[in-house]
Structure 1
């Protein structure tokens, strides 16, 4: 059995990760940590785990985690995560980091978009990006994997094969909508029921931190510098992401797009090319991504949906863990 530690275990992504690992046939959670609530049973923090996991929260002691775990899922905020990951790496632990700290390759870009110095800048550019659909070989050999952002996953997967094939222009518009869980469990005014219910709003227009991640990963995979305009929206639902992407290309149509997707993702168990516009409820609670393409005048509209807490976070982490330990990618993920 793979022994799994979950650092920062009180949030939504940590709960989802624990839920998935609990049903994994070859992995078990052996440690859960938090900077607060030390000694509190994890089932008191996440009531849905009652009777499913008999562990209490402890401080994230790297040496103890090194003794108790084979791999650690780090579910801490950016900046705080990098410091912890560095300490865990010194214990020769394999680590999957769910923060944004190791997704970008440049410390300067990180500092510009996250408004803080990177705690471990020399490690940037040497970390596997956790999309097995694109980087499975790198992930398999990695000691540290940067789990992708939820919005970037919904944009990168449709765009990457098209950019690599050179069939679309590099000026791209990504319009995305996400459920409230994407903002995390910490209370914020905009996410209160009376603020978010019966409403939809754009936020961080032109300055969302996932924009450089999309650009950086597409450049890494396809070798093409893109100009991405990314606009996120908050929608009054618990979970889910719908991304609507507008692309152009000479002699490009929806049928050609679908053909390229089917070729690129023929071995990807969680990606499905569908004929009609997908909805977030089609993938809710799963690690699956549904994508389609529709002709719209001189443009082709790409649509992708995923569950932001599963494929957009914890499900991707379990999928990455499977790759790192040479297991079938679908283990524990219900596919």
Structure 2
């Protein structure tokens, strides 16, 4: 039975304050109930105010065999209880702010296309709260924000809850307003098995593009595999203007070239024959360089990339390589810096492998013409 941490025994029902057995409290009764910071279901399954949890849907009992994505998801906004002094029990109730799934959103916004969302995608409703019996709670989960423009987007696996938008029920709209990033003006569909999207991390771009749209737009440039890796590596998440890798290596002013003024393609081509760049990269951990030279990709065709893709890892790897080129060295914990100290993925997972494709095309950003 649910109980409040460090409190009296709970029997899950009460006749206190005029409430019938198992009845949901009214808003007026809720204001009179005693406030707590947590409750426990079973032996040690503790839930705290502010956490996000999965909740059994209507029609299911504790122990029901349902898929993770079929659970309701809600944020615990408050925990209160009726106290029964006669038998030393509490009647616990939890105030929950709901995350909607695609079908819930379609019930509010009739024009909403449910096919554009994944089964683990949720939409936070700022206006919809309910009082829920603690026995309906399953486990604590995380709902991670998926932000298109974020070069440090945390990894989101295929079986993790995530959100892009909140829903305003009264206004019948999503917030922020969905913005289509690709030249086709169509949104990212995480579960579409044909989807591959490439990201340009430059501060002036920070956009995702469908691979097929880039090819149809002729945003491609043939080159060797080695050249492609160097060109991708030179696409910096921190430099607004294209810059060669050579220019990141400190040298006396008298020996500096004018490469910073070259256009991107010429600068990238110069790196391919630059012995200083080759020597510097060869001295770095080879797996770090491999990750840094990957295209930033997401989509169901890139299975190991989950929902969010490899953006965070590749951006972190490139920054470490740039620091090393500048003479700062590679930290011993560089792998943790690339993946995060607690990560469900490995460095090998960051290497892009697309279903039914042995070689990825060499693509360019339609806006800044950097390799992506």
TM-score when normalising by structure 2: 0.24
Choose between structure 1 and 2 for higher RCO, CA contacts under 8 A separated by at least 6 residues: 1
Q: Considering fraction of residues, name the structure with more helix.
A: 1
Larger of the two Rg values belongs to structure = 2
